Amino acid sequence: MARQTTHWRAGAAGLAVLALAVTACGGAKVGDDSSQAGGTGGTGGAGGSGKCGTFNLAVNPWVGYEANAAVIAYVAQSDLGCKVVKKDLKEEIAWQGFGTGEVDAVVENWGHDDLKKKYVAGQKTAVDAGATGNEGLIGWYVPPWLAKAHPDIVDYKNLDKYAAHFKTSESGGKGQLLDGDPSYVTNDEALVKNLKLDFKVVYAGSETALIQAYRKAEKNKEWVIGYFYEPQWFMSEVPLVKVNLPAYKTGCDADAEKIACDYPVYRLDKIVSKKFADSGSPAYDLVKKFTWTNDDQNTVAKYIAVDKMTPEAAAKKWVDANRAKADAWIK
């Protein structure tokens, strides 16, 4: 998901973590024959002359991204007649597909100035397709009960006082700082080191595992501190409390090894292949015009993760209730 160096994101991104709906495997590689085809429509490359053809849509491994992809895929299929092929790929792997033609679009990018430098400015295989309308926030969070019982814990300067309470069998005698999927972009190891905290980053392995840890901690009054992000439907179930790290200032994260500041607010955006942008496919116009709010995304993500709807059914439910918004993307 989000963010800056490879650790996932978040978050945004951001953001990045197996989709909460546990439908995305997130472990595919460009060139793998492990895609998910959806819908019916034209065949061949990314269209031309106004015909959609095949639309190769990357799905990064967190449920917020999956919500974006589900709605875009649904509109592409039902309104534009595209043949949508969803590809479960982690962030950096997905960008590699721009140059090979195996990926047309990434529809929730959390910063990734490093990848933009490489693929947009350098190789020129990708172009920016504009904002999603979502704002992404990454940080360290504790369950509500803990913030209420120990109000000073939300200041990072007081964390070492409580480090012993966060120790686990995996944290080597230090307090455990729980991160999500190792593929997300995170600054947490650098933060722990540079803020001189008696903590060790331990990876839960997925977005789902991270959420389960927070849910259990709130229910059983257990000590958990870890990485999390917004937009995220889980916040409406358990309103996690953000820890205040040193304030973000422009450039404070320029050197990944020396980061000692909080994460920035991410203006999430979409990245597409240059070939796709030049193809004349109506799917490109859809991606470029696609924009919605954090609340919109959280609604669809909750349908998938909590209500156990398929991505297609979740997308249809949202589009049926928000037809005017969807129509604006295809006009």
What pLDDT digit, counting tens, does each position of 33-76 carry? 444 444 333 333 443 345 899 999 999 989 999 999 999 999 99
Token pair listed for 312 = 């297609």
Q: Is the pLDDT of residue 198 over 90?
A: yes
Q: How far is Cα 320 from Cα 331, in angstroms, rounded to an integer?
A: 17
Phi, psi torsion values for 309, nearest 5 degrees: -80, 150
What pLDDT digit, counting tens, does each position of 233-243 carry? 999 899 999 99
Q: What is the DSSP code (8-state) at residue 253? A: T
Q: Is 134 helix (H, G, I), strand (E, B) or coil?
A: strand
The pLDDT assigned to 222 comes to 98
What's the whole-number average pLDDT of the chain?
Answer: 87
What pLDDT digit, counting tens, does each position of 321-330 carry? 999 999 999 9
Q: How far is Cα 160 from Cα 175, in angstroms, rounded to an integer?
A: 8
Answer yes or no: are the C-beta atoms of 170 and 202 closer than 8 Å: yes
The pLDDT assigned to 1 comes to 63
% of the chain residues with pLDDT over 90: 78
Average pLDDT over residues 280-292: 97
What pLDDT digit, counting tens, does each position of 106-152 carry? 999 998 888 999 999 999 999 999 999 999 999 999 999 999 999 99
Q: Which amino acid is present at 228?
A: F
Q: Do the first three CATH levels of 10-135+267-330 and 137-265 match, i.e. the same topology?
A: yes
Domain 137-265 CATH superfamily: Glycine betaine-binding periplasmic protein; domain 2 (3.40.190.100)
Within 8 A by CB and 6+ apart from 108, the residues are: 1, 12, 13, 14, 15, 60, 64, 65, 68, 69, 132, 134, 268, 270
Q: Which of 17, 305, 18, 8 is nearest to 138 (CA)?
A: 8
The pLDDT assigned to 185 comes to 78
Q: Where are the domains of the chain?
A: 10-135+267-330, 137-265
The pLDDT assigned to 100 comes to 94
Q: How far is Cα 52 from Cα 281, in angstroms, rounded to an integer?
A: 5
CATH topology of domain 10-135+267-330: D-Maltodextrin-Binding Protein; domain 2 (3.40.190)
pTM score, whole prediction: 0.77
Q: How far is Cα 74 from Cα 265, in angstroms, rounded to an integer?
A: 29
